[in-house]
Chains A and B, each alone.
With several copies, the nearest count.
Chain A
Amino acid sequence: MNVNVLVFGQIADITGKESLSITGVASTDELVQLLQQKYSGLKELKYLVAVNKKIIQQSTELKDNDTVALLPPFSGG
């Protein structure tokens, strides 16, 4: 199983790229844990998580080919 991860703003600064392909995670909590291991700077940042463009409030099960986005605080306008 594979999920696409999109990161933005200061999170992309930490990962060094704007999209990642991650395999072997069953939920958003598992995904976030894995990313925090890989990118320790992530722990200090505030962000929302979206699955397929919808913001989620709690850990959500992931299906193959889902898109998960990590969204730091918005600053448009």
Chain B
Amino acid sequence: MKEMKKHAVFVDGAITPGFVSEALQKHSVNKNIGAHSLFLGQVRNDVINGQKVAAIEYTAYNEMAEEKFQEIREAAFENFDLICMHIYHSLGKVNAGEISLFVFTSSTHRKEAIRACEYIVERIKKEAPVWGKEIFLNNEYQWKKNTD
């Protein structure tokens, strides 16, 4: 039986720049990596109907999301020549200007890393059962809509 390594994806609150640099630092020991591609989603303070977004509060169908992230992970390794990859997504409140999604792919060559990263980001946006509640400065809210 193939053992499935567990990969934690959900992070409580914002993903910090320090978290990103630690992730990078860990990969310096893997000296057959030639290219890293990183995507970071940052919360915007959009103005919607005159109200400014102060934060997004993320919730998820955790068990289903974890299975989906695992499925995306396996598909990425199957479709691209990757050495490693990581997905981190916030749950809970993330303020405007903070980071809520971090996708990190590493490969021997740049094109595989870049394409895999984009592939993973697109699948997460379309397929991961995660919802963002846009909380305005006046404490009202609306449910976020993802653009294509």
Contact = CB atoms under 8 A, between A and B. Distances in A.
Contacts of A77: 41, 89, 100-101, 110, 121, 124-125, 128, 130, 132, 146
Interface in B2-52: 41
A76 B63 CA distance: 15
A77 B148 CA distance: 12
Nearest to B101: A77
Per DSSP, chain B at the interface is mixed
Contacts of B121: 77
Nearest to B146: A75
A50 B64 CA distance: 9
Size bracket of the B interface = 20 to 34
Interface in A1-25: 6, 8-10
A73 interface: yes
A69 B59 CA distance: 14
- Ranked nearest first, the 9 interchain pairs of A and B with the lowest CB-CB distance are A76-B130, A75-B144, A9-B131, A53-B64, A77-B101, A75-B132, A77-B41, A75-B146, A76-B128
Interface of B: 41, 58-61, 63-64, 67, 89, 100-101, 110, 121, 124-133, 143-146
